Chains A and B, each alone.
Chain A
Amino acid sequence: MRIELAEVTKVFADGKKVLDNICYGEKFNALAIIGPSGGGKSTLLRLLGGLLSPTAGEVSFDGSKVSFDEKHLIQYRRKIGFVFQAKGLFNHLTARQNVILPLVNVHGYTKTDAETAADNLLGRFGLSADKHKFPHELSGGQQQRVAIARAVAVKPKLLLLDEPTSALDPELTGEVLDMLNELRNEGLNIILVTHEMGFAKKACDKLMFIVNGKLAEYGDSEKLFTRPGTAELAVFLSKVLEWST
């Protein structure tokens, strides 16, 4: 999948410029957005997901421009999956109902078809035993796996994830990342904001490094990790990788 960002800028109502003239164009299978906290990564991802509109600039996927008016955005959001950092599941619904709701109410599945699809998917991700539990009864890792199952149940071409493992214990991070890697291998396009440098390096082919709202560096993930082109990225990597082996 090819993504193009042309002079994308986002200024919030309080006047804070969160994204500053981002220009980017690359073909990717899995794109990791990394950078220091508060730099605008999540804002960029929400913009790509059609949850926010840019103040200026254009976004396009595979040559088709995203139209940022509410009527088109609803259609646009239906074609992509979005996974939040935490608490993205509907509190009042069980795991299974969370997966079923968008299928029935947004994508026009019959109840039976939606149930079959949900059961298959939850079974595949090892959640069969927990599918009738409410979000608060699930572990953080299970919650995120249900959220990913809900997002991919509608067969999106693109899956966006906003720090999907940052609220998890280390041993739960692995189970979520394994699941993502599996989906990626099946050809699903993924863009994720992450602090998991191992995953960004090994499982993502492309990398964007965002600092203070600016795209400081981008390119092949493997290459940037071994030979960062800017001093900023080199410093950032040396900090985040300091204690990893």
Chain B
Amino acid sequence: MPFYRLFIKGINEKTTLLQKSFNIVIAVALFVLFFFYSVKRLGLDFDFSFLWSFRYRLAQGFAATVALSLASLVVSLLIGFLSAIANNSRILAVSYFSKVYVQFIRGTPMIMQVYLFFYIVGTAWGIDNRFLAGVLILSIFEGAYIAEIIRGGIDSIEPTQLEAAKAVGLENGQTLRLIVLPQIIKRTLPALSGQFASIIKDSSLLSLISVIELTQTIREISASNFAIFESYIFLGLLYLSLTFPISMYTRYLESRFSYEN
């Protein structure tokens, strides 16, 4: 193999493991070097050692973000599923309610929704548990995106699948359970898994209403010792440690379920 082939893959060729690992190292190195050069230009001197003394608070914040995200995943799946069903409803008010919800949520920034839902809706309805409020706000936000994913999954069921189910003598409930749901799950799982990574990142905005999760913990720590850069760099690494495995898993699902082309 000529040396240059370490860097360039042939047309229509698969990337070898050697090429892959070698070039990932280069890409990451470039990224890190650029960053360090920027830091040097500013003459900054980083000291991450203080983080150790905050390890318990950081662990708590990390756990809170994981809990918040998992709870929101469950609730937003429920909201998304109901909204996708409602979208196809023959009762027009129900259908339009779902459409308006999806359009409003997807068309406005989450920061505005956080304030709106927490200070107006939340206060009016007496939801003063910030964790619960956080889960609800995040779920309402993510639910709109999940609704679109599930709606796409429902739309992708070919009519012949339903006709074939009918022809072999399945009842409606069986068709839903044995044919429709498994196909929707297979087709939406990659996108849903990707959405879970978004939920984790978006949960950071709940720090705006002082939900004590990871971002809020870092905000508090950096406010007390002014080590803003170190704190936020570390914050980014913590989020990456959650989202990176999910992103890898999403890619694995995509390759596994790419059966319809």
Contacts and interface: CB of A to CB of B under 8 A. Distances in A.
Contacts of B261: 136
Nearest to A135: B259
A136 B161 contact: no
B168 A101 contact: yes
Interface in A159-189: none
Contacts of A75: 169
B91 to A, nearest CB: 20
Nearest to A102: B168
Contacts of B179: 90, 92
Interface stretch (B26-34, B111-119, B130-138, B170-178): B170-178
Given A74-B169, A136-B260, A91 B163 contact: no
Interface string A88-121: 1111100000000110011100000000000000
A51 B170 contact: no
Given A91-B260, A136-B259, A77 B166 contact: yes
A49 B261 CA distance: 30
A95 B235 CA distance: 49
A102 B166 CA distance: 11
Nearest to B179: A90
Given A78-B169, A105-B174, A87 B259 contact: no
Given A91-B161, A92-B182, A51 B166 contact: yes
Given A51-B163, A92-B182, A106 B169 contact: yes
A154 B161 CA distance: 19
Interface size class, chain B: 20 to 34
Interface in B144-201: 158, 160-161, 163-171, 174, 178-179, 182-183, 186
A106 B168 CA distance: 8
Contacts of B183: 90-92
A42 B167 CA distance: 14
Contacts of B164: 82, 84, 88-90
B258 to A, nearest CB: 9
A145 interface: no
Tell which of B166, B171, B174, B179 has the most Cβ of chain A within 10 Å: B166
Nearest to A70: B172
B158 A134 contact: no
B186 A92 contact: yes
A10 interface: no
Contacts of B171: 74
A172 B171 CA distance: 33
B123 to A, nearest CB: 46
A88 B174 contact: no
Nearest to B182: A92
A150 interface: yes
Contacts of A84: 160, 163-164, 167
B181 to A, nearest CB: 10
Interface string A121-146: 00000000000001010000000000
A53 to B, nearest CB: 12
B182 A102 contact: no
A77 B167 contact: yes
Interface of B: 158, 160-161, 163-171, 174, 178-179, 182-183, 186, 259-261
Given A78-B168, A106-B170, A136-B260, 12 more contacts: A51-B166, A74-B171, A78-B169, A82-B164, A84-B160, A86-B160, A87-B158, A90-B164, A90-B165, A90-B179, A92-B179, A92-B259
9 contacts: A49-B167, A51-B163, A84-B163, A84-B164, A87-B160, A89-B164, A90-B164, A91-B158, A92-B183
